Each structure stands twice: as structure tokens, then as C-alpha cells.
Amino acid sequence: MATIDPSRESFSQLFVNTAPDQPVVMLNLLRFRDEAQYPPEHPEPTCSGREAYARYADNALKSVAAAGGRVLWQGRVRHPLVAPDDEHWDAMLLVEYPSAAAFMDMVRSPAYQAFTHHRTAALAEARLIAMQA
């Protein structure tokens, strides 16, 4: 089963496993679908997963900035030097937020929720890993 969106339990554990007064960096590992899979309630023109993710990212960058966050690095994954043979990723992002609470406020906001269907349609698999120094 593909892992794309966080569960309620993983969201609640975010606050258990991070210091509340420190910045948090989110490691995003992304594998795109060949063709985006939009649900019937969000019909969109046919496009690739990478194109659907670009639709998400155009909006997400505004939400990240509004939450006080910033993209530290993003790029295409070229070669998994240490990874299982069947594991591959298309893209990676590092996004810093002032705190886990700032991240959660962003993802809960109606403005952010309005375009997350692009992310879900775009991805075949994802990892979102919270990190702190």
C-alpha cells in the first residue's frame, strides 16, 4: 500500500517527537505517478504526476512562506547510493518551518487544504520526515 498522506496518529506523534520551540526541517521524498490520478470530486485535465505536483507546489510555496517557512533545497534524485534495490525517488525537498506547530497550522488551514488534491493525485509514494538539530 502506498504511503502518500500522513495519518492522524503520525500527526499527533509529531508533537511528541519534536521540541516545540525549535525549527523543524521536513525531508520530502517524492515518487511521481506517470499519470496523475484525480478523484471525481476534483476533475482536472489529464497530466503527468510531475505536472500535478507542480500545480500543488505553486500554491504550497505561498503557504510555506505565510507560515514563516522556506525551502532550503530541492532537486531531482539521481542515484540511490544506499537504498534497497526496489526503492527509488524522483525528487527531494528540504523545507524549514519555525516550529512543528507552524507546520501543523499550515496544513490544517482551509487555504492549504484547497489544493492538496494536486499532491495526492501526483504521488505514487512519498515520505515526509520531521528533523531537528
The CATH number given to whatever domain includes residue 81 is 3.30.70.100
Residue 54 lies in a domain: yes
Question: Is position 5 within any domain?
Answer: no
Q: What is the largest CA-CA distance in the chain?
A: 43
Average pLDDT, the chain: 95
SS (H, E, C) the chain: CCCCCCCHHHHHHHHHHCCCCCCEEEEEEEEECCCCCCCCCCCCCCCCHHHHHHHHHHHHHHHHHHCCCEEEEEEECCCCCCCCCCCCCCEEEEEEECCHHHHHHHHHCHHHHCCHHHHHHHEEEEEEEEECC
Residue 13 is assigned to a structural domain of this protein: no
In a domain, 15, yes or no: no
Give residue 98's domain range. Answer: 22-131
Does residue 6 register a pLDDT over 70? yes
16 in a structural domain? no
Is 116 within a domain? Answer: yes
Indicate whether 82 belongs to any domain: yes
CA–CA distances in Å: residue 8 to residues 11, 95, 108, 131, 132: 5, 21, 12, 19, 21
90-121, pLDDT tens digit by residue? 999 999 999 999 999 999 999 999 999 999 99
pLDDT top residue among 105 and 2: 105
- What is the predicted pLDDT for the residue at 124? 97
Q: What's the pTM?
A: 0.92
In a domain, 77, yes or no: yes
pLDDT band at 86 (very low <50, low <70, confident <90, very high): confident
**Number of domains comprising the chain:** 1
